[in-house]
């Protein structure tokens, strides 16, 4: 409130609403994902930061069994701990309907103009496409009315074209990861960078970063530098990941030679944005938003969830790290189907239980113990570095 000229030009939105919805207004307004910094980034850096938000949500009588991501997101409001930087808010029901509760509570706590932009769960049903596009157009109209600005097609085209360059480089990276031993990006960097830039939308910093990575990747491919020489297994990580232990894959590589080549979150938002006509742009933008994190491959229908097996083949993986988010109703509902498929296809899959940002339910140490057990009893392998089998990181910084 101290600098209202800036405050009046910001749009707050859920971190699961794609930043590229706001391209038509980027000349005059700034779109900033609300939960991204206080919740999503902070838990990766320091696992303790979100626990008080989860507890706060439950302290006002809300049930403890919904997804802890949604609990943490509305716990920010219970503690009045959200950054107050914008006069309006755009919300979404993504990733799943747990987020509907977040939107309802945000509406209540923020008490300011709010546009809810829900997406259908069975998003690829052709019958819902027109509805999704209307939701986006409704959002644009809401922004025009609230801020007195006009939809700017040229501005949209400029940013969308620039974002497509990031997508093209992502495809190039996937190609190198899938078909060579020279991919220079580790599993953590692959997952987190992809999540942040694809949700946030186009920014100059992503292009700068991609140029650095391109230089490194060109070098490793040209000189045939084997980047992960201790690899014994090429793994794909599937389903919703433990935010408090993104670096499990660094540990798994050093301890067991499990190289996590790709993960589900990296493969979302896989949508090129056409800019030749308004109709094509709206169609693609709508698809892009529907393929948001977790919606596309966790709760968007079993055919997407089971696309794991196609990706496994495409990325030449011989092992699955199957995240088992204990409070995710969508993924819990399909647990048995995966068990059957793994058996039928004779695939080595390690189930890794966790509770997204809440480290208290399954500790990091417990996750390592489960992987250790599988590697010794089922795979009958010995660790590359036995000193890494067990160590104390209960403080989990």
Rule CB under 6 A: which residues touch ligand SF4? 67, 69, 95-96, 98, 240, 294, 298-299, 325, 328, 330-331, 356
Nearer to ligand SF4, 236 or 331 (CB): 331
Nearer to ligand SF4, 252 or 298 (CB): 298
Distance CA 290, CA 301 (A): 12
Dihedrals φ, ψ of 22, to 5°? -95, 5
Report, in Å, the least distance between residue 123 CB and ligand SF4.
13
Nearer to ligand SF4, 240 or 312 (CB): 240
Nearer to ligand SF4, 57 or 217 (CB): 57
Report, in Å, the least distance between residue 191 CB and ligand SF4.
15
Instruction: Give the pair of three-digit tokens for residue 339.
Output: 């068990």
**CB of 264 within 8 A of CB of 317?**
no
Distance CA 84, CA 1 (A): 8
Report, in Å, the least distance between residue 202 CB and ligand SF4.
25
Report, in Å, the least distance between residue 293 CB and ligand SF4.
8
Report, in Å, the least distance between residue 331 CB and ligand SF4.
6
Nearer to ligand SF4, 240 or 322 (CB): 240
Distance CA 246, CA 59 (A): 28
Distance CA 14, CA 297 (A): 19
Nearer to ligand SF4, 355 or 375 (CB): 355
Report, in Å, the least distance between residue 94 CB and ligand SF4.
8
Nearer to ligand SF4, 26 or 295 (CB): 295
Report, in Å, the least distance between residue 69 CB and ligand SF4.
5
Distance CA 235, CA 263 (A): 9
Instruction: Give the pair of three-digit tokens for residue 377.
Output: 């009893």
Nearer to ligand SF4, 202 or 290 (CB): 290
Report the chain's terminal Cα–Cα distance, integer Å: 34
**CB of 13 within 8 A of CB of 86?**
no
3-state helix/strand/coil string of 247-292: CHHHHHHHHHCEEEEEEHHHHCCCCCCCCCCHHHHHHHHHHHHHCC
Q: How many CA atoms lie within 13 A of 331 on its CB side?
A: 27
Q: In a 10 Å sphere around its CB, with 0-12 CB exposed, 13-18 middle and 19+ buried, how is residue 5 labelled? A: exposed
Where helices occur in the chain by DSSP H, the ranges are: 4-7, 42-45, 51-59, 68-78, 98-110, 129-147, 153-179, 187-200, 204-222, 248-256, 278-290, 302-305, 308-314, 329-333, 335-345, 364-373
**CB of 269 within 8 A of CB of 196?**
no
Instruction: Give the pair of three-digit tokens for residue 96.
Output: 């799943």
Nearer to ligand SF4, 32 or 356 (CB): 356
Nearer to ligand SF4, 286 or 327 (CB): 327
């Amino acid at each position: 409130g101290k600098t209202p000229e800036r405050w009046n030009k910001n749009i707050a939105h859920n971190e699961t609403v794609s930043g590229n919805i706001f391209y038509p207004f980027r000349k005059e307004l700034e779109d900033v994902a609300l939960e991204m910094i206080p919740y999503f980034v902070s838990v990766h850096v320091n696992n303790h930061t979100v626990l008080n938000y989860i507890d706060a949500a439950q302290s006002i009588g809300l049930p403890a069994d919904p997804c802890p991501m949604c609990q943490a997101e509305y716990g920010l409001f219970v503690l009045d701990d959200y950054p107050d930087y914008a006069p309006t808010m755009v919300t979404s029901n993504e990733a799943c309907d747990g987020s509907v509760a977040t939107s309802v509570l945000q509406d209540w706590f923020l008490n300011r103009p709010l546009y809810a932009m829900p997406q259908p769960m069975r998003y690829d049903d052709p019958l819902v496409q027109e509805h999704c596009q209307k939701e986006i157009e409704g959002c644009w109209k809401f922004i025009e009315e609230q801020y007195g600005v006009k939809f700017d097609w040229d501005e949209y085209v400029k940013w969308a074209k620039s974002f497509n360059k990031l997508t093209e480089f992502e495809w190039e990276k996937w190609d190198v990861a899938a078909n060579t031993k020279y991919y220079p990006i580790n599993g953590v960097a692959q997952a987190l960078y992809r999540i942040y830039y694809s949700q946030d939308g186009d920014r100059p910093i992503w292009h700068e970063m991609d140029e650095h990575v391109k230089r490194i990747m060109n070098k490793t491919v040209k000189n045939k530098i084997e980047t992960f020489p201790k690899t014994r297994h090429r793994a794909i990580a599937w389903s919703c990941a433990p935010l408090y232990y993104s670096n499990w894959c660094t540990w798994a590589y050093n301890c067991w030679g499990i190289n996590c080549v790709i993960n589900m979150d990296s493969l979302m938002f896989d949508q090129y944005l056409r800019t030749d006509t308004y109709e094509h742009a709206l169609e693609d933008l709508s698809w892009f938003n529907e393929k948001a994190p977790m919606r596309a491959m966790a709760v968007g229908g079993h055919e997407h969830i089971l696309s794991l097996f196609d990706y496994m083949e495409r990325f030449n993986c011989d092992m699955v790290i199957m995240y088992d988010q204990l409070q995710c109703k969508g993924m819990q509902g399909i647990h048995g189907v995966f068990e059957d498929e793994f058996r039928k296809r004779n695939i080595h899959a390690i189930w890794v239980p966790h509770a997204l940002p809440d480290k208290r339910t399954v500790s990091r140490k417990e996750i390592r113990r489960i992987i250790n057990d599988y590697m010794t009893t089922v795979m009958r392998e010995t660790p590359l570095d036995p000193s890494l089998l067990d160590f104390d990181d209960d403080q989990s910084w």
